[in-house]
Amino acid sequence: MGGTIVKSKIPNGIISIYLIFLLVSTGFAGLLVFPGVLDEGGVEGATTRYVGGSGPGNYSKIQDAIDNATTGDIIRVYAGIYYENVIVNKSITLIGNGSKNTIIDGGGTGDVIIVDVNWVNISNFNITNSGNSFVSGDGGIKLNYAQNCKINDNNVSNNGQNGICVWRYSKNNTIENNNIFNNGGKGIGLWFYSSNNSIINNILINNSDDGIAFVHNSFNNTVINNLASNNCYNGIYFSSTGNFIANNTVFNNNRGIFNCLGMNNIIVNNTVSWNNDSGIHISTSNTQIINNNISNNKKGIILEFADSDTINNNTISKNVEGIYLWMSENNKFRNNTISNNRIGINHIDGSTHNKFIKNLISKNDRGINISANSNFLYHNNIIDNTIQLYNSGSPSNTWDNGANEGNFWSDYNGLDNGSNGRIAGDGIGDTNLPHQSVDNYPFIRSNGWLFPSTPILLGPGNIDSDGNYTISWYNDLKATGFILEEDKDIYFNFMY
């Protein structure tokens, strides 16, 4: 069977280079080579300036050091409390002396730090007490029309609005290894065409809005290995296109991951649990939800006004409702494990032309609850649910693949004996039909649509004058009509 491999390139915002200094002293001249901290946009021969401490020439304010700096300079800030609203308008590196002890307090007005240029690095600060204006996007750190910046290893907390605000066409920035908590708005917010940014390994807790959010056409961002917990609204929210959300842990928020309006997003390998409303909520099209572990939410996955989404290889367990569909069309659910929920799949009116293929639906109080029409459900293992199927209002759906192959039901007790003019021994039940009043072709074994064993071919096969290809093999199960891939019309007739 075929598969899909999703690869993502994370842009490197900072490139370490080597600075070469010529040391000249009495009786000695030589070269010393050591790792530097300049960016691609930096310059050689940078000056290191100091703020705080007792050294000669040290500045008392961070802003004074910036005002006297030139492009590429490094500003090191000693531990202490600095009551400032810092404007970074030069491409510099700003380094604190520890994210607990080097505190910049914005006094409750505006941004604590605003960056208006490219190629700025900010690290090892405790940044707190910004203003609370939603309209101006006040934040602990704001990137404004800024590119190729790196914000890392900071504590950003107790700001009036956003923790970190990526604002207006800020692109190709990296936000990494920050602790962002107790802010009055979003933990990290990307606004107004802020695209191609990387958000990596951050911890976002107890923010009054979303943990991470990208809105207003902020597209093609990468969100990897973050922890978003106890945020008031969503752990991760986006209404933009082409974002990659992977390997995040998202729990105890109102919603875990909410994709509203943004298309062509990928949500893969996340752990989403214990969220009050939903684990993953999709209200858009062409989203891929792959290999996520979704558990202990009110609803595991919600598709609401969603179409043409792909939901594959997820583990969905211990939710009130595993999968919930409402007014959603043309979505594909394949190879998911849906178990130990109160309702495995809750398929409500107005959701049509959805496909459920090769899912394991097991040990739920109610396996499938369906009131919608014109959907396709086949090659699923429906096993040991208290109520296997509840058809509300006698909906009309298709429970086979068009080649006389339905689903495996653990409660089916019919015989594969050739009754009713059928083929005996083909692995599909011939009596007590239709099972559950819907399935005319139930399998008598789980995964009965797969080849039962590796066949031993009797020859290379033959093609007749009509182009039909016939192969023969030894096998202990005489079967016909296996389909190798449901979405491709590849059929074989078997001789035995």
What is the Cα gyration radius of the chain? 30
Q: What is the C-alpha end-to-end distance of the chain, expressed in Å? A: 24
What 8-state DSSP symbol labels residue 46? P
Model confidence pLDDT, tens digit, residues 134-166: 988 899 999 999 999 999 999 999 999 999 999
| Pair of tokens at residue 443 | 């399998």
Contacts of 430 (CB under 8 A, 6+ apart): 414, 415, 416, 417, 418, 419, 420, 422, 424
pLDDT at 477 over 80: no
pLDDT tens digits, residue range 226-271? 999 999 999 999 999 999 999 999 999 999 999 988 899 999 999 9
Neighbours of 488 (CB within 10 A): 9
Q: So what's the pLDDT on residue 348?
A: 86
The token pair at 31 is 């070269």
Tell me the CB-side half-sphere exposure of residue 343, using CA atoms within 13 A: 19
Whole-number pLDDT of residue 43: 52
- For the chain, the domains span 1-15+43-216+223-235
DSSP annotation of 420 reads G
pLDDT at residue 399 in the model: 98
What is the band of 426 on the pLDDT scale with cuts at 50, 70, 90? very high
Average pLDDT over residues 176-191: 97
Tell me the mean pLDDT in the region 295-321: 98
In CATH terms, the fold of domain 1-15+43-216+223-235 is: Pectate Lyase C-like (2.160.20)
Q: Grade residue 6 by pLDDT with cuts at 50, 70 and 90.
A: very low
* pTM for the model: 0.83
Instruction: Using alpha carbons, select from 50, 36, 53, 44 the residue that is nearest to residue 71.
Output: 44
Higher pLDDT, 491 or 31: 491
Q: With a cut of 50, say whether residue 47 has pLDDT above it.
A: yes
Contact assessment for residue 62 and residue 75, using Cβ atoms and an 8 Å cutoff = yes
CA 137, chain centre distance (Å): 25
Mean of pLDDT over the chain: 87
> Is 60 exceeded by the pLDDT of residue 347?
yes
Could you tell me if 102 and 78 are in contact, meaning their C-beta atoms sit under 8 angstroms apart?
yes
Average the pLDDT over 353-360 and give the result. 98
Q: How do residues 108-141 score in pLDDT, each as one tens digit?
A: 999 999 999 999 999 999 999 999 999 888 999 9
Sorted by sequence, the CB contacts under 8 Å of residue 137 that are 6+ apart come out as 161, 162, 165, 167, 189, 191
pLDDT of residue 36: 33
Q: Match 């030589």 to its residue by tokens.
A: 30
By three-state DSSP, how is residue 272 classified? strand
What mean pLDDT do residues 452-458 have? 59
Q: How many helices (H) and strands (E) does the chain have?
A: 1, 50
